[in-house]
Amino acid sequence: MTETRDDNVTWLTQEAYDRLTAELEHLSGPGRIEIADRIEAAREEGDLKENGGYHAAKEEQGKIEARIIQLQSILSNARVGEAPRSAGVVGPGMTVTIKFEGDDEEVTFLLASREESGAPIDVYSPKSPLGSAINGKKVGEKATYTLPNGRNLTVEILDAVPYGGA
């Protein structure tokens, strides 16, 4: 069976998957109960219009619910293991070295899900403008992407090797 490229898949290490699963279990259970108790305690203090504790707890509840949805989405699209990859071709799970056009400085980073942010090197998402532009490119090729300010930036791929871990 050949592996097909799917932009909705998030490749995670077992460690990251376990960490995110534990966070989801905590937020869905004890986290929800704790914030509900805080809201109830603040509600009992009286006038809700001027009750800072109540409003802070409600805001925190919104953040928890948003994170639960985000974690459910990540985990439902997650594959544990290593993304299919070949040395010399940029893709998720690769350590990539690039050079910006007109600059001699080289930049090396891991192209992976932001959930892998525990890596000892910078992590760039494959869905970021730079990540999208270089994904699938080979060493020696160039890619151009658009910055948030509208300017275009061109990079040259100098190296792409499987990430070896810490």
Residue tagged 């001699």 (tokens): 104
What structural domains does the chain harbor?
10-80 (1.10.287.180), 94-162 (3.10.50.30)
Amino acid occupying residue 148 = P
What is the structure's pLDDT at 117? 57
Record the pTM: 0.53
Chain mean pLDDT for the chain: 82
Q: Are 71 and 23 in contact (CB under 8 A)?
A: yes
Summarize pLDDT for 47-96 with one digit per residue, the tens.
777 788 888 999 999 999 999 998 898 888 877 765 555 677 888 878 89
- Using the predicted structure, report yes or no on whether residue 115 has a pLDDT greater than 70: no
Q: Where does the pLDDT of residue 166 fall: very low under 50, low under 70, confident under 90, or very high at 90 and above? A: very low
What is the structure's pLDDT at 144? 94
Q: Where does the pLDDT of residue 141 fall: very low under 50, low under 70, confident under 90, or very high at 90 and above? A: very high
SS3 2: coil
Helix axes 52-76, 14-26, angle to 10 degrees: 140
What is the structure's pLDDT at 145? 92
